[in-house]
């Protein structure tokens, strides 16, 4: 009779899981991009047809892809784009800083005290700090460029 031997199948399946995950992620990104492009194209055609029929432009709905959409950065003013970049750096810095501190604490608590393994957490901690500093530089450069003082309220 046929006897199951896990020695062959386990390595194959263990390598297939990340390959399928990566291929699925790439495929999902491509499908999303194609669908967004098609929706934008259809909305533009509908808008052109309405304009040809004499409909007032102000009464037409806006095109898909609002300010919160990640692909709409080309529609932002330079100040909004800089503020968005600074906000992204700040969020990334806070998350990376928290991961570094958490990793250092976890390794420090799990260690018996013979080695300084907690120091591994310093790497993401310093990356997080550098992202926060970069966020501040980006925000200050935007303030200098637009003639506002760093302490002034932002619009």
Res 1 pLDDT > 90: no
pLDDT given for residue 67 in this prediction = 40
Provide the CA 68 distance to its chain's centre, in angstroms: 12
Greatest distance between any 2 Cα atoms in the chain: 82
The dihedrals phi and psi of 154, each to the nearest 5 degrees, come to -90, 145
pLDDT of residue 5: 62
- Give tens-digit pLDDT for 45-85: 988 998 899 888 788 777 766 444 555 555 677 788 888 88
Give the pair of three-digit tokens for residue 22: 């990566």
Task: Using pLDDT thresholds of 50, 70 and 90, give the confidence band for residue 155.
Answer: very low
pTM for the model stands at: 0.51
> What are the residue ranges spanned by the domains of the chain?
1-66, 76-155
Residue 94 pLDDT grade (very low, low, confident, very high; cuts 50, 70, 90)? very high
In this predicted structure, which of 3-7, 15-19, 22-26 has the lowest mean pLDDT? 3-7
Non-local (6+) Cβ contacts of 130 within 8 A are 93
Q: Check if the beta carbon of residue 130 is closer than 8 Å to that of residue 147.
A: no
78/108: higher pLDDT = 108
User: Could you tell me the CA-to-CA distances from 130 to 31, 69, 133 in Å, in that order?
Assistant: 35, 27, 5
What is the CB neighbour count within 10 angstroms for residue 131? 20
């Amino acid at each position: 009779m046929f006897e199951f031997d896990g020695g062959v199948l386990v390595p194959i399946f263990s390598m297939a899981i990340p390959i399928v995950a990566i291929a699925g992620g790439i495929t999902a990104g491509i499908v999303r991009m194609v669908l967004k492009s098609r929706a934008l194209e259809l909305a533009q055609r509908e808008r052109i047809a309405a304009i040809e029929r004499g409909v007032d432009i102000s009464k037409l709905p806006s095109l898909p892809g609002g300010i919160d959409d990640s692909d709409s950065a080309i529609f932002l003013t330079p100040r909004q784009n800089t503020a968005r970049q600074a906000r992204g750096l700040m969020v990334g810095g806070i998350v990376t800083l928290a991961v570094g501190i958490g990793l250092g604490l976890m390794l420090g608590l799990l260690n018996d005290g013979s080695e300084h393994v907690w120091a591994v957490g310093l790497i993401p901690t310093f990356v997080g700090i550098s992202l926060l500093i970069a966020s501040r530089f980006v925000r200050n450069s935007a303030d200098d460029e637009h003639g506002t003082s760093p302490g002034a309220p932002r619009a």
